[in-house]
């Protein structure tokens, strides 16, 4: 899809009071990415030449997010909340400097697909000067209505509060998304008035003004889910559910097996190759890549991790940022890995914490092993060589190196480097006192009898 001449204006000035949050509404996340981030990513996928983000006063966090997601995004400020028409005109300088199509999107509407924007642009290419995205909700109450003639041409958009009883019977509703191929667009927008029930400058009035100028107007329809606007926490949860369902279906269509799809939670940047199997109750945070053939068992939590080909992870495993697992690695139940590279075929199958370091190919980490990586001030590394065997219940105090093929005896606290092929043990001498247990029980029974 290509709209190389498009300027996309993203309206992000809403305060979002119904969210009841100190965080600006558009920075609340769906699938680990802000809603504004989703909309700006849509602009990137549409090959937008320019992006202008309209914010309200004192919205530095929103400005920073826009700059981080879309390099070179222009920021405009809507000083007073006087309607969508006024909001678009806040980006006047960007619009006037641009020659080409202008598309208006909303930062609290994160689910629009690139293919839908492509259909809007196609409508402009077919001769429309103004194209509006419409939908048919189950309940149209509160939505602006798209009024069309017998041929389907768009005549006007009527806000719900200004609509007549007959107009409220129309089920084709306005999403707010609108695209223009109008030279000197701001001159048209400047003619929008505020003679309506709210006293606001409605962008929707641009349709009737355009028609009065002899310009062509048209409608493109999409599903209701795609244009869900998020104004409350309940709608944020609804948007999350829709996004997750889309992503699960896309992965399964690409060759990923999900035993119980509705229990798998994905992030906006999750990458899963074909022939991966995912059991129930698995959470993918941002920055996770899973290579082909891996098996993810139930109840795992991942973020910022790479899982190699044919690896086997879980159940109940946690991979934190910096975990890089090569092919055929096994990480089992109640094992946590953070900032550790595990070589091909290495294993940590039970009850271990591996933090900051590396594990060589074919090395085996026994149950209860801990990388003691933090002294209260600094993080240090544990390096385990290829083929090393770490016995159960061992504590490796970093910084430390365990040589290739070395053995660490179970229950050891290792504080010094261990050479290749060596055995390292650290245990106190075992002491046995015959008959002690029976004497102890007798003594305790007497004390209990006296109390």
pLDDT band at 357 (very low <50, low <70, confident <90, very high): very high
Looking at residue 49, its pLDDT comes to: 81
Angle 323-364-413 from CA coordinates, rounded to 5°: 90
Mean pLDDT over 289-299 rounds to 98
- Classified as helix, coil or strand, 96 is helix
Mean pLDDT over 28-40 rounds to 98
Q: Nearest 10 degrees: CA dihedral of 213, 219, 220, 226?
A: 110
Mean pLDDT over 343-369 rounds to 98
Looking at residue 219, its pLDDT comes to: 97
pTM: 0.92
Residue whose tokens read 């699960």: 248
Looking at residue 3, its pLDDT comes to: 47
Averaged pLDDT score across all residues of the chain: 95
The residue extents of the domains of the chain are 7-227, 233-424
* Cα 170 off chain centre by: 36
Characterise 241 by phi-psi region: left (phi > 0), alpha (psi -120 to 50), beta (else): alpha
Residues 49-106 pLDDT 10s: 899 999 999 999 999 999 999 999 999 999 998 999 999 999 999 999 999 999 999 9
Mean pLDDT over 332-350 rounds to 98
Residue whose tokens read 């007073």: 80
How many CA within 13 A on the CB side of residue 7?
25
Third-level CATH fold of 233-424: UDP N-Acetylglucosamine Acyltransferase; domain 1 (2.160.10)
Beta carbons within 8 Å of 101's beta carbon, 6+ residues apart? 3, 5, 6, 7, 121, 124, 179, 180, 181
382 has which bridge partners?
357, 400
Cβ–Cβ under 8 Å, residues 339 and 321: yes
Residue whose tokens read 């006192």: 433
More confident residue, 197 or 132: 132
The CATH number of 7-227, from 3.90.1170.50, 3.90.550.10, 3.30.70.380, 3.60.15.10, is: 3.90.550.10
Catalytic site includes residue 330: no
The DSSP letter of residue 379 is B
Above 70 in pLDDT, residue 422? yes
Phi first, then psi: give them for residue 148, nearest 5 degrees: -125, 165
Above 90 in pLDDT, residue 358? yes
Phi first, then psi: give them for residue 89, nearest 5 degrees: -70, -15
Above 90 in pLDDT, residue 2? no
Mean pLDDT over 203-225 rounds to 96
Candidate list 38, 98, 301, 350, residue with the active-site label: 350
Looking at residue 292, its pLDDT comes to: 98
Looking at residue 428, its pLDDT comes to: 87
Q: Nearest 10 degrees: CA dihedral of 290, 293, 294, 297?
A: 130
Looking at residue 451, its pLDDT comes to: 67
> Closest Cα partner for 48 from 4, 93, 10?
4
- Classified as helix, coil or strand, 247 is helix
Residue whose tokens read 């329809």: 221
Q: How many residues does the chain have?
A: 451
CA distance 382 to 372: 8
Mean pLDDT over 17-28 rounds to 94
Other CB atoms within 10 Å distance of the CB of residue 77: 15
pLDDT band at 1 (very low <50, low <70, confident <90, very high): very low
Residues 394-420 pLDDT 10s: 999 999 999 999 999 999 999 999 999
């Amino acid at each position: 899809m290509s709209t190389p001449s498009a300027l996309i204006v993203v309206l992000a000035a809403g305060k979002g009071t119904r969210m009841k949050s100190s965080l600006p509404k558009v920075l609340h996340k769906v699938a680990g990415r802000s809603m504004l981030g989703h909309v700006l990513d849509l602009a990137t996928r549409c090959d937008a030449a320019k992006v202008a983000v309209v914010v309200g006063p004192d919205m530095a966090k929103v400005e920073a997010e826009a700059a981080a997601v879309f390099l070179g995004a222009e920021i405009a400020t809507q000083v007073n909340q006087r309607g969508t028409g006024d909001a678009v005109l806040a980006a006047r300088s960007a619009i006037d400097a641009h020659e080409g199509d202008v598309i208006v999107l909303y930062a609290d509407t994160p689910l629009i697909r690139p293919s839908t924007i492509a259909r809007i642009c196609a409508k402009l290419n077919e001769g429309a000067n103004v194209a509006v995205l419409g939908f048919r909700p189950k309940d149209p109450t509160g939505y602006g209505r798209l009024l069309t003639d017998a041929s389907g041409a768009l005549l006007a958009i009527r806000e719900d509060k200004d609509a007549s009883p007959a107009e409220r019977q129309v089920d084709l509703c306005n999403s707010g998304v609108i695209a223009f191929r109008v030279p000197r667009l701001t001159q048209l927008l400047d003619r929008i008035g505020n003679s309506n029930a709210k006293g606001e400058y409605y962008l929707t009035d641009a349709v009737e003004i355009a028609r009065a100028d002899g310009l062509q107007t048209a409608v493109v329809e999409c599903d209701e889910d795609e244009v869900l606007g998020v104004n409350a926490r309940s709608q944020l949860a609804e948007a999350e559910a829709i996004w997750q369902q889309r992503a699960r279906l896309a992965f399964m269509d690409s060759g990923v097996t999900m035993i119980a799809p509705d229990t798998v939670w994905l992030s906006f940047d999750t990458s899963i190759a074909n022939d991966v199997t995912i059991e129930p109750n698995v959470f993918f945070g941002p920055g996770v890549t899973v290579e082909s053939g891996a098996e993810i068992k139930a109840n795992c939590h991942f973020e910022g991790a790479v899982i190699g080909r044919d690896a086997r992870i879980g159940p109940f495993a946690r991979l934190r940022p910096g975990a890089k697992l090569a092919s055929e690695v096994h990480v089992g139940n109640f094992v946590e890995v953070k900032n550790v590279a595990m070589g091909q075929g290495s294993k940590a199958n039970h009850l271990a914490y591996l933090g900051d370091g590396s594990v060589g190919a074919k090395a085996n980490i026994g149950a209860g092993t801990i990388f003691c990586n933090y002294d209260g001030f600094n993080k240090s590394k544990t390096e385990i060589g290829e083929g090393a065997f770490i016995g159960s219940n061992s504590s490796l105090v970093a910084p430390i190196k365990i040589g290739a093929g070395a053995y660490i005896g179970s229950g050891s606290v290792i504080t010094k480097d261990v050479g290749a092929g060596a055995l390292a043990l650290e245990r106190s001498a075992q002491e046995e006192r015959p008959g002690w247990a029976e004497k102890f029980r007798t003594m305790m029974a007497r004390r209990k009898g006296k109390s």
